[in-house]
Structure 1
Amino acid sequence: MDKKFKEIALTNSDTIVHMWLDEIDSLKEQNYTATVSDELFESTNREFVNVIFTSIKGEGSTKTLEDFSEKLINLGWPLSYITDGLQVFRRVTVEFILGQSEQVDSDYISNVLKSVDRWVEPIIRQLVNEYSGSWEHIVSLQRVALQELSAPLIPVMDGITVMPLIGTIDTERAKLIMENLLEGAIKHNSDVVLIDITGVPVVDTMVAHHIIQAAEAVRLIGSTCILVGIRPEIAQTIVNLGIDLGKFPTKSSLKKGFQKALEMTNRKIEDIETKDEEIETILNSLTGE
């Protein structure tokens, strides 16, 4: 009986596809894909129904399901698109098969439902598993990328490096900041490390504690830490909290911090125009002009 129902579905696949597309299209304006272009929506739906029929025929592969699931994730479509689509396919297929028989009793209906469920449920499991696996893989890669970007240490001159911090600092990120500071200061042979907190929205007791710990750790390996980017509201917060930042230099901006770093490494910024004038004066004196 199951073979007979499957033969009906496959023989009339074009009709079932059109029924399925009409049902899915009616959902577009009220769900997660309402903002998707009509062209992309139609092409993805056709690919989806092709994946379904390929799996029913037994010609599909895990790679096919994996590629389709990954495509949905890259498009930003939720898992419910898969489950809704398969439920719609189940309904229209059952309705079509029942409509092909002149005599329909409860046993016949039950057999049709069971048969279609046997085709659809494995596809649901496989697609959901592939979708979940691809999503977890992408999230894992994004987490690694964010960690790499969350506490970068940038060498700007011999002996001077900068760590720009943006966003909230929690315990896990503070640990990463500490590790990157120590490893980077040693790797770049840094005499001065500037921690720029211009992009840190809130500096509370915990954040200040983490920064102080990082600065102290840098000091222990022979480098000096300068905290820059202290905005007026952050300065007021630090004072109100009674946080002592007196153990290392602080500056209101990265520019001032960099100038301080140059002084600490016995360097300074020279005005090129002034130097040119001095050279011209010396040359004139030598030529008697």
Structure 2
Amino acid sequence: MNIEVANFLKEHKLELLEDWMSAMKRDEGERSLSVISDAMFQEISKEFIEIAVSNIIDSESDYKKKVERFTERVVRIGWPLVFLMAGLDRLKTLILELMQREKEYSSEQTVELITEIDRWVAPMANQIVESYSNNWEKIVSLQKVALQELSAPLIPVFEKISVMPLVGTIDTERARLIMENLLSGVVKHRSEVVLIDITGVPVVDTMVAHHIIQAADAVRLVGSRCMLVGIRPEIAQTIVNLGIHLNQITTTSTLQKGIEQALEFTNRKIVMLKEGSH
């Protein structure tokens, strides 16, 4: 990198930071800065300028580590990659303006200066894009695993009775996960009755009903009984209108009624104790 540009960056780091923050607030403000406090924006902006200077003075491995930490942080707070790229473009413009303010350059010198600044920023931009993409993929993978773990749990509520509460839409991938968790959970908990609670499923169409029927059939194959609970009036009407037959599945309108029915299937029932009984 041009020695003059490098020295200027090191000497004017604080000035660049202030000007960059003001410019980004003015140009990008509401779109990306509303998600963080002013104090955090200042802290991250300082880190951004430090990375720019690190590109000059640090070893390649140290520089990459700093970029990795920085991009991991901005991914977590929700800054889009386009915001960082706009920030780099703004930084280039500010460096050029500040250098021209301090010294007069001829047309040829200005062109050479712009070329040197671009030459310095280009690998920095590539490193940020690569690191940002890697961190984004990591977070998406972690979120996907977390959602899968939470999306279809089988919960033992009584001996021999388990409940699988479903919330949200059910697509093919989630239906596969439901089937896997259902079968492994039935064996693990030795469940004789499994209640699939669809209270939190907003829409039951032909595909969703098909997946539920498949799950019930699979449960029967491993020697257990499947119940479908939480059927709201609008869901019942949809099932009838679609001509879907749930003849092989016991259904109830609420989870409470389903539990009572499941207890009867396992030769038990809920008994109200008289006052004073022990």
**Which stretches in structure 1 are left out of the alignment for 5+ residues?**
280-289
Secondary structure, aligned partner of 1:169: coil
User: What is the CA distance between 1:195 and its match in structure 2?
Assistant: 0.4
Are residue 25 (structure 1) and residue 21 (structure 2) matched?
no
Aligned residues: 276
- Deviation track 1:189-229 (CA, whole Å, cap 9, x = no partner) reads 11000000111111111111110111011001110001101
**Which stretches in structure 2 are left out of the alignment for 5+ residues?**
none
User: What is the CA distance between 1:150 and its match in structure 2?
Assistant: 1.0
Are residue 10 (structure 1) and residue 10 (structure 2) matched?
yes
- Which letter maps to 2:67? L
Partner of 2:78: 76
How far apart, in 2, do the equivalents of 1:162 and 1:231 lie?
Answer: 18
User: What is the CA distance between 1:35 and its match in structure 2?
Assistant: 5.1
- Deviation track 1:38-78 (CA, whole Å, cap 9, x = no partner) reads 22222221221122112222354222111111111121221
How far apart, in 2, do the equivalents of 1:44 and 1:57 lie?
Answer: 20
How far apart, in 1, do the equivalents of 2:218 and 2:158 lie?
Answer: 21
User: What is the CA distance between 1:26 and its match in structure 2?
Assistant: 2.3
How far apart, in 2, do the equivalents of 1:174 and 1:103 lie?
Answer: 66
Partner of 1:284: none
The TM-score normalised by the length of structure 2 is 0.93
How far apart, in 2, do the equivalents of 1:163 and 1:35 lie?
Answer: 36
**Aligned 1:30-41 pairs, distance under 5 A:** 30-34=30-34, 36-41=36-41
- Which letter maps to 1:41? F
CA contact (8 A) 1:9 1:97 kept: no
Are residue 160 (structure 1) and residue 161 (structure 2) matched?
yes
- Which letter maps to 1:6? A
- Deviation track 1:112-150 (CA, whole Å, cap 9, x = no partner) reads 111111211111111121111111100000001111111
Which deviates more from structure 2 when the two are superposed, residues 66-75 or residues 133-142? 66-75
The TM-score normalised by the length of structure 1 is 0.89
Secondary structure, aligned partner of 2:156: strand
CA contact (8 A) 2:36 2:77 kept: no
User: What is the CA distance between 1:21 and its match in structure 2?
Assistant: 3.1
How far apart, in 1, do the equivalents of 2:143 and 2:149 lie?
Answer: 10
Change (3 A) 1:216 1:115: same
From the CA coordinates, give the structure whose radius of gyration is larger. Answer: 1
- Which letter maps to 1:243? I
How far apart, in 1, do the equivalents of 2:151 and 2:19 lie?
Answer: 49
User: What is the CA distance between 1:103 and its match in structure 2?
Assistant: 4.3
How far apart, in 1, do the equivalents of 2:211 and 2:271 lie?
Answer: 36
Secondary structure, aligned partner of 2:274: helix
CA contact (8 A) 1:203 1:237 kept: yes
Secondary structure, aligned partner of 1:179: helix
Partner of 2:120: 119
Over aligned residues, Cα RMSD in angstroms?
1.9
User: What is the CA distance between 1:100 and its match in structure 2?
Assistant: 3.8
Partner of 2:88: 86
Runs of 4+ in structure 1 displaced over 6 angstroms? none
Partner of 1:283: none
User: What is the CA distance between 1:3 and its match in structure 2?
Assistant: 2.2
Identity of aligned residues (%): 49
How far apart, in 1, do the equivalents of 2:64 and 2:205 lie?
Answer: 50
- Which letter maps to 1:206? M
Change (3 A) 1:229 1:45: same
- Which letter maps to 2:219? V
How far apart, in 1, do the equivalents of 2:185 and 2:83 lie?
Answer: 46
CA contact (8 A) 1:195 1:228 kept: yes
**Aligned 1:1-289 pairs, distance under 5 A:** 2-34=2-34, 36-59=36-59, 60-105=62-107, 107-273=108-274, 276=277
How far apart, in 2, do the equivalents of 1:246 and 1:195 lie?
Answer: 15
CA contact (8 A) 1:97 1:112 kept: no
CA contact (8 A) 2:154 2:181 kept: yes
Change (3 A) 1:248 1:16: closer
